[in-house]
Amino acid sequence: MKHQFSKYFFGLFLLIIALQAMSAIPPYVNGKKVPSLAPMLEKIVPAVVNIATQSKRAKNPYFNHPAYRYPGGQRSKSLGSGVIIDAKKGLILTNSHVIAKASKITVILHDKRTYTAKVIGHDKGSDVAVIQIDAKNLTQIPIGNSDKLRVGDFVVAIGNPFGLGHSVTSGIVSALHRSGLSIVKYENLIQTDASINPGNSGGPLVNLKGELIGVNTAIISKTGRNTGIGFAIPANMARKLMVQLVNYGEVRRGLLGVHIQDLNAKLARALGVKVRHGAIIARVVPGSSAQKAGLNQGDIIIKVNGKKINSASALQNKIGLMDVGQKVKLTVLRDGQRHHVDATLSTQPKKIRTASLTQPQTGAPSSSFHKHLLGASFANITKRRLFSGGILISSVDTLSPAWNSGLRPGDIIVAVNKQPTKNLKQFKTALNSSVNSLLLYVKRKNTTLYIYLE
């Protein structure tokens, strides 16, 4: 009994000490208030909106029976966020994936007013959208300069996670210029550890001044919940796209007209170049700006307007944010020499009709060709209208060296080590001249690429 009383007294003593310590926290430190995000948030949170959407579900033939029909049709609901960027016009910036398939968009303001919004325009490639409401007394957010962001800067994410309503999380900029994530087509993303969860999409990422520096768009997580890796579209990129969406209802991108891929160490060795950065032109689209400017297959673009290009995605992002008619200066590596090429970006050239492949000859196993092609079978193309020739890969064993090298059924090998291969005979001849490594030029569906095997 005495022992129990001692434990109780000791616990009570610790509680009293803790309460005294909490009450002793000073409201001021060195004559200044303890730092708080509250004053900044009080100014900008009214500019953040919750977005609820409704969309008609696709018809399912299994639910045609009257017993499975619902009044008003089947609908699905989703929740997201947005931020007011023009209070007078009622313009709201959000993500394309939040509103793209909606039949009805409802915007809930911070003061609980509710409005039905209309879509001004959205762009799937960048995941940016602009919607509009007819409302008075709105608050808009100031837009900052995302180009001045540095890794380590403090940021705050605001949104509607899990439909709970306005929530605020804080963190830092973890990385900049993230790409190659396959989140959206045009990626130049800000990475942050500020918690971003389902429902935050389209909400603002702000700096400590309360300026919009990003639009929250995605997370990387196996569970679908925040794991400290979130991404936002830079404000400068969103602002540029927003202007086009407001003016045209769509993004009118200037196009160069090339199929490109990364220059990695393997391809650099195969092509005999010393640089280790850039985008290789695997194909020049006929009638495109690239063809008119004199660009060739095999050229390596290393700079655009004097700025270094590190990868194919970097080139895609750079060109994808430029307008139709804009002139660009390209620095190109060709046959080991640097060339400067001027190009004027144009619209999408007319699509060239693709040929259908029918009745290929019986596939020949790769064991009779080359060690790097083990597991693949090849065939001549017997009926080709628009193909100038090539070898069809009729099948690939998924556990084979050929599969691990990146070859897939349906690929067409057009050249081996820069030697054209219009039929199996030419294919064998080209392979016999190379024992160790192979540089394949391959057509795959609507694109082309180099594959280096060693």
Q: Which residues are catalytic?
A: 97, 127, 201
Tokens matching residue 317: 């992002």
3-state SS assignment for residue 163: helix
Least Cα distance to 136 among 81, 86, 90 occurs for 90
Instruction: Identify residue 269 by its one-letter amino acid code.
Output: R
H or E segment at 192? strand 189-192
User: Which residues contact residue 108 at a Cβ distance below 8 angstroms, ignoring those fewer than 6 apart?
Assistant: 49, 50, 51, 52, 114
Residues 223/216, Cβ–Cβ less than 8 Å: no
Alpha carbons 65 and 350: distance in angstroms, whole number: 46
Residues 382/360, Cβ–Cβ less than 8 Å: yes
User: Which residues contact residue 122 at a Cβ distance below 8 angstroms, ignoring those fewer than 6 apart?
Assistant: 96, 99, 100, 128, 129, 130, 245
The CA-atom distances, in angstroms, between 150 and each of 191, 196, 203, 207, 309 are: 11, 20, 21, 11, 20
Residue that is written with structure tokens 């509009």 in the block: 132
Residue that is written with structure tokens 């004053």 in the block: 39
94 burial type by CB count under 10 A (0-12 exposed, 13-18 middle, 19+ buried): buried
Enumerate the β-bridge partners of residue 365.
377
Q: Quick one: the chain helix, strand, coil %, rounded to 5?
A: 20, 35, 40
H or E segment at 291? helix 289-293
